[in-house]
Amino acid sequence: MKTRKLGKNLEVSAIGLGCMGMSFGYGPAADKEEMISLIRSAVDRGVTFFDTAEVYGPFTNEELVGEALAPLRDQVVIATKFGFKPDPNGGTRWSGLGSRPEHIKQVAEASLKRLKTDVIDLFYQHRVDPDVPIEDVAGAVKDLIRQGKVKHFGLSEAGVQTIRRAHAVQPVAALQNEYSLWWREPEAEVIPALQELGIGLVPYSPLGRGFLTGQISQDTQFDKTDFRNIVPRFTPENRKANQALVDLIGKFAQQKKATAAQIALAWLLAQKPWIVPIPGTTKLHRLEENIGAAAVELTPGDIQQLETAASKIAVQGARYPEELQKMVGR
């Protein structure tokens, strides 16, 4: 697999692997041994970039990633995240945002243990904390970098002014944002700012939480623990309305002798050379399909044709429920 650079010198595979769904978010956790095997299979196939966070589980996803990658540690880049306060009662709920410098340092120590490593390659602030100046957050990560516990600093779903302020204190290697053919808002302000500052973009949910693969219909029933049950964009009526975009991608995929997922990922890769999507999966055949997107060549004409057609389709439904929507773009 080809590699790409995030920031000045963080080299990763052109497609990474988002590990959240193995433990959390999309129904019951998958079998641990099977997921360890899947993560190692990804390394065998050239994937070097793995994404997790303390809140996924909580904690169990970092433990999974740590165990899977411990024997291969020198071949891979591990990204994890801080920024939430754990449940004071020790449960699985989080008690809001928390990015005070002393908390960031505590999270780093705990994540290092769970990940079975002595350094975190990329440490993202998961969501911007309005109660802590971003300069203090960047300064705390800068201290961790000086101590050799972290290599690179990242932000997730931050607004442009926050990105600029953080970058002035400690260079930001990557911003992780939702970005796909059905969520293109980053193109307005965020992507131009990243280009100017030399920061990479790591799109999460590059397949629209599975919707752009064409495997989800208005009749699909999600497990009761599946996050998509509370996402406005995934109500049955919105799924029905949004099917037009999936149909468009599917037709395009047939022309290119590829799958819908591969076209959605290839479109992202074609946007900028410093964009690295991190599709998640729990299935080996889907992992191979996603990796195959790196070999799909889209010409400028293909991209223009796809974007022109897509721009005529109004996507229905917000990407987050209201309380989570408040946490993005700060």
Instruction: Give the dihedral sign, CA 147/82/27/211.
Output: negative
Contact 293, 265 (CB under 8 A): yes
**Identity at 238, one-letter amino acid code:** N
Strand partners, 155: 125, 175
CB 154 within 8 A of CB 127: no
Alpha-carbon distance of 242 to 244, in angstroms, equals 5
Contact yes or no for 203/277 (Cβ under 8 A): yes
SS3 (DSSP) at 33: helix
Is position 204 annotated as part of the catalytic site? no
Instruction: Name the catalytic one among 26, 56, 179, 204.
Output: 56
What 3-state DSSP class applies to 300?
helix
**Environment class of residue 90 by beta-carbon count within 10 Å: exposed (0-12), middle (13-18) or buried (19+)?**
exposed
Q: How far apart are CA 198 and CA 35, in angstroms?
A: 34
- Residue pair 78/122 in contact by the 8 Å Cβ criterion: yes
Strand intervals (E) in 171-253: 172-178, 200-204
Omega of the bond leading into 133 within 30 degrees of 0 (cis)? no
CA 218 to CA 240: how far, in whole Å? 5
Which residues are known catalytic residues? Answer: 56
